[in-house]
Structures are given as C-alpha cells and as structure tokens.
Chains A and B, each alone.
Chain A
C-alpha cells in the first residue's frame, strides 16, 4: 500500500504539555484507517495536526511529499476534508444551505454558484442519506440526522481524504453502523478515510488499517486480524479480555472479562 499522507517525526504539544513525541505514521492510500486508544491518548490531536489545525512543534505532515504548511489554505481544503467532534450549525440554517457551504474551497471571490456545485451538493446529500431533509432547519433534526448532515458537508467539499473525529458518538447503534457502512462505501469509491473511533469492535470490522495509540505513541498498527489480541488490549486499554472471531465477518471481536474494571 502506498502512502501520500504521512506524519514524519511529529512532535505535538499544547503549550508545555507534550502530547506526542517523534510520531511517524504512513496513512495507506485508498484505505479505511481507524485510530483507536483510550481517552486523551492523542488521537484527536494527531488528526488535527494532519489537517493543519495544530502546528507541529517539530517534524512535519506531508501530502504528496510536500509539507502541508506549504499548501495554500484553499488548495489544502480541496484535498483534506475534516469533521470535528461537535460542529455547531448557525441558527436558522437549512440542511441544503449548510451542505452548500462545504463547496467553499471550490469557489473564488467572485464566482457564482455553478452547476458543478449544485451536483456536488445533491450527490453529497444522497450519499449521506439526507436528501429528504434538504429543506428542514438543521436545529430541528435529531442527533443522527444532524451528524449525517455534517458528513454531507464534508462530502460536498469533495476531497480525496476524509478525516473524521469520532463520527459515531451521539448516534444510536443503527445509525452508527449506517455511518460506518457509508464510510466503507466511500473507501470503495477510492477515497482515503481516516477516523478516530471509540468502539474497538467496529474499528476491527470496518478498518483496513488499525492504529492503536496510547499516551501519544503508536503501540501497534496494521490489519486488525494481525495486531488485535488480548495482549494488545491489555497494553493499550488495560482491559482483561478474550478476543474471538466476529461470528459474521471473522474479524477480531473483543469480549471483556468479568471484573474488568478492578
């Protein structure tokens, strides 16, 4: 697998607090990469560094062998799409209008709304399953509908890379799996998906490439079947468990042992 998006010897910190030191990661192209790890292990921070929201203290993030900080802002926004954990929609905005704002990096100062913009917005709403909600005010939607609307915003941005920070949080189990299926489908269309996921079993089932992080380091990475076992879970999550094959997909499935919290 080739990598066009990479982190090289990346040191990330907020003020004096070092989150990650000398972290290196190649994101496999055209694959679904899931980043897992306990709370505050630096997953979200790493994602923010990839999309240039956090300036590395040292090292660099490169896209096509070029430092992301060297890209013009709009050009980078045409390559990397990012969905943060809790985006807030403006008051009174409707679904279609919100999704349309994802087209910003494709527009210039004076250009008018084009047919290509219109098509991209319609396609994004269809892919995210919100086309029936197009004229509804966003603030009246349920949590799941709202999350799918935001996914449509990022899809309208039409980027080869999609980076999502815990996209399944606040969703019920049905919507969680719908979203993961959607991300899998986008990967099948050739996009590179990188998501921070909370649920290890979902990550094992949907991700082609799993990255396990702890305390700012990458503990293991690779196909879930190759790296996920009870030893890794003990090391990363400090969770005593057994790992069995998922009865449906055969991917690793984590089953915690009784008294796991003690």
Chain B
C-alpha cells in the first residue's frame, strides 16, 4: 500500500516537472523544450530565453504556488468539516479579499500590483478573524458565518462597483482569476508563505487523521482538537489568502484536487495532503496552458478554464458521495 503510494507520488512529481517545462514553451510565441531547459540552466539573453526567464517561468511558478495552496487548503477544509463538498471559499476568505480590492481601488490604495496584493491579503485575514470570532464554537457555525459574511461583502462590493465605474473596471480584471500579467507583481513573499504553510499542513496531517474520527474519539486518542482546528483554520486562511492574492479568485481547484488526490491517497490525510500539493500545481499549469492556447488570439482567464473542468468533477463527486451514503 505504502509502496504503491510512493510510486504514484513520484510519478505525479515527474508529471509536474514535465508539464511545467513543456508548458513554459507553449504560447503565442512558441519556444522548443530544449531552449526552455537551456534558458533556465544556461541563460544567453536571446529573445526566447528572455521570454522564458522573465515571463513564462515566473508565471509557471505562480501556477505551482497557487495550485498547491488551493489544493492543500481544500484538503484541510474538507477534513475539518468532514464534508467532501467543502472548499476554502466557504470561510469568507475569497469574499474578504475581493471586497478589500474593491474598497482599496475606490480609495485609490490598490492601484499597483503590490497594492492589490497587500489589499487582498489584508482582506482575507480580516474576513477570517471576523468569521472565526463569531463561529469558533463549531465547524458548522464557522461555515454558516463564512457564507453570511460572503453574502454581505459581495453585496457591498457590488454596490461600490456599480457606483464607481473605474473601480468596476479594475475589479473586473482582478475578479476573473488569471495568471496573465501577474508575474510582474512582487510574488516572492506570497510564494514563500505558501511553501511554509504547505510544510506545516504536512506536519499537521497526522493529527487531522485523528480529528477525522470525530471530536470525542480524537480527544481520547490524545489530540488537542481545538488547537488542531485552530491551526488548520489559520493554514486555510493563509493558503487561500496567498493564492487569491497572487492569482485572484480561482474556484474549483480547492474542491476538485482533493477528490483526485483521494483516488491515489485513500483516506490518509498525510498522503492526501502530499498528493494535493503535487496535483494542484499540475492541474493549474494545464489549465494555464489551456488559457493560452484555447483562443487564436488573446487569452481565456485560467479561472474560466478551471471552472469548465470543475463543473463535471463536482457532479462526479456528488454522485459518488451519494452512492456511498446510500450504501
């Protein structure tokens, strides 16, 4: 069992590298794979190499970071809520970031990529603090509070955007999750934060294995359930906040990838987390390649590609879940 998982995870890692390298070459300006590798290892300043190093590779790195963050956050929220249909957005993180971008634009604070990023992070953190302070007693309460806050913030954002046309324009570009053009923003910090948070999630995973058995059993197995829940919530906020900051709201990755990962990882949360951290980037890289080649000119925002992929997967997950419940 473990041997099989190690083999599968290694395979997924190889797939990730291949998709990343091949994907970097694909786009309006095609770069052969050999040149991609040479641009990364032996940069000679040719136009091909500049495109690879300054635009495509950073963009691929963003896809890897955002994909891993959303997928791992998805695993955490599904395990925490004991609900296979939960996704990170239910805690109000995405709506908080969206509202902060809107309000920031209205006040002229989010004009630069760095400003946008700062506003998104601040919004995500404040929204989570609000949701947690109201709903900390139980997971169900958290979700209800998150959904309520999302409704309020979305309404406020919409009102602001309808009143202020140029805010609307700015928000329009942000709100469709995309990786295009975002590689120029200062992304080092969010990417580092994601790397640390994913590592913490892997360390927390074994405790979550026990939490999955219910609060009573987990407690008598020696898990401090409240502390583990709090840690998981912090990680979910940080991960989805950072992903939203670098890529805008990308739905479905957090919902979809955990289900794919479950096929390989079974029920073990540590394995689930590891597979999600590899498959999330693969999915987002593939979707980003799709976003660059689906239209003859221009790009489809990556969030639209993931939504197209996500719909069918969601239906599949619901049907499968229904089958289990009926058995």
CB-CB under 8 A from B266, the residues of chain A are 92-94, 97
The 0/1 profile, CB within 8 Å of B marked 1, for residues 59-96 of chain A is: 00000000000000111111011101001111111100
Q: Contact at B220–A101, with CB atoms within 8 Å? A: no
A70 to chain B, nearest CB (A): 15
Task: Contact check, B267 vs A77: say whether CB atoms are below 8 A apart.
Answer: no
CB-contact partner of B84 in A91, A105, A157, under 8 A: A91
Residue from B2, B82, B223, B327 in contact with A90 in the complex, judged by beta carbons closer than 8 Å: B82
Q: Are B220 and A53 in contact (CB under 8 A)?
A: yes
Among B2, B219, B222, B324, chain A packs the most CB atoms within 10 A around the CB of B222
Min C-beta distance of A18 to chain B, whole Å: 22
- Asked if A92 and B267 sit within 8 Å, CB to CB, the answer is yes
| In the complex, A7 has a CB within 8 A of chain B | no
Q: Which residue of A lies closest to B218 (CB)?
A: A104
Stretch of B52-60, B191-199, B202-210, B305-313 on the interface side: B202-210
Does any Cβ of B come within 8 Å of A102's Cβ?
A: yes
Docked-complex contact B82 and A104, CB < 8 angstroms = no
Complex contacts, B213 vs chain A, CB 8 Å: 87-90, 98, 101, 153
By the criterion CB–CB under 8 Å, are B221 and A93 in contact? Answer: no
Q: With contacts A90-B213, A93-B267 known, is A104 near B221, CB below 8 A?
A: yes
B184 at the interface (CB under 8 A from A): no
Q: In the complex, A167→B213 CA distance in Å?
A: 17
In the bound complex, residues from chain A placing their C-beta under 8 Å from that of B299 are: none
Query: Contact between A84 and B324 (Cβ–Cβ < 8 Å)?
Result: no
Contact B216 A105 (CB under 8 A): no
Q: Known contacts A92-B267, A139-B324; decide if A77 and B220 are in contact (CB<8 Å).
A: yes
Indicate if B182 sits at the interface (CB-CB under 8 A).
no
From A140, which residue of chain B is reached at the shortest CB distance? B327
Which residues from chain B contact A157 at a C-beta distance below 8 Å? 221
Q: Are B217 and A84 in contact (CB under 8 A)?
A: yes
Do A101 and B221 touch across chains, with their CB atoms under 8 A apart?
yes
A: interface residue count bin: 35 or more
Could you tell me the distance in whole angstroms from the C-beta of A99 to the nearest C-beta in chain B? 11
Any A CB within 8 A of the CB of B10: no
Bound state CA distance, A150 and B230, in angstroms? 27
Complex CA gap A140/B323 in Å reads 12
Question: B262: CB under 8 A from chain A?
Answer: yes
The residue on B at minimum CB distance from A105 is: B222
Of the candidates A77, A80, A107, which one forms a contact with B206 in the assembled complex, judged by CB atoms under 8 Å apart?
Answer: A107
Chain A residues in 8 Å Cβ range of B219: 52-53, 73
Task: State whether the Cβ of A109 lies closer than 8 Å to any Cβ in chain B.
Answer: yes
Cβ-neighbour of B267 out of A73, A74, A80, A91 (below 8 A): A91
Whether B223 pairs with A80 at a CB distance below 8 angstroms is: no
Of the candidates B203, B216, B221, B324, the one whose C-beta lies within 8 Å of that of A77 is B221
Q: In the complex, which residues of chain A have a beta carbon less than 8 angstroms from the beta carbon of B224?
A: 73
Residues of B within 8 A of A93 (CB): 266-267
A104 touches B220 (CB 8 A): no
Interface bits B19-54 vs A (CB < 8 Å: 1, else 0): 000000000000000000000000000000000000
In the complex, which residues 289-327 of chain B have their Cβ closer than 8 Å to any Cβ of chain A?
A: 321, 324, 327
Q: Indicate which residue in A90, A104, A109, A139 contacts B222 across the interface (CB closer than 8 Å).
A: A104
- When A and B form their complex, which 10 residue pairs have the shortest distance between CB atoms, in order from nearest? A77-B222, A74-B222, A105-B222, A82-B220, A93-B267, A104-B221, A90-B212, A84-B216, A73-B222, A104-B210
Q: Which residues of B contact A (CB under 8 A)?
A: 2, 82, 84, 203, 206-207, 209-210, 212-214, 216-217, 219-224, 262, 266-268, 321, 324, 327
- Given contact pairs A92-B262, A104-B207, A104-B221, a sample of 8 additional A-B residue pairs in the complex whose CB atoms are under 8 Å apart: A52-B219, A82-B216, A84-B214, A87-B216, A90-B82, A92-B324, A93-B267, A102-B221
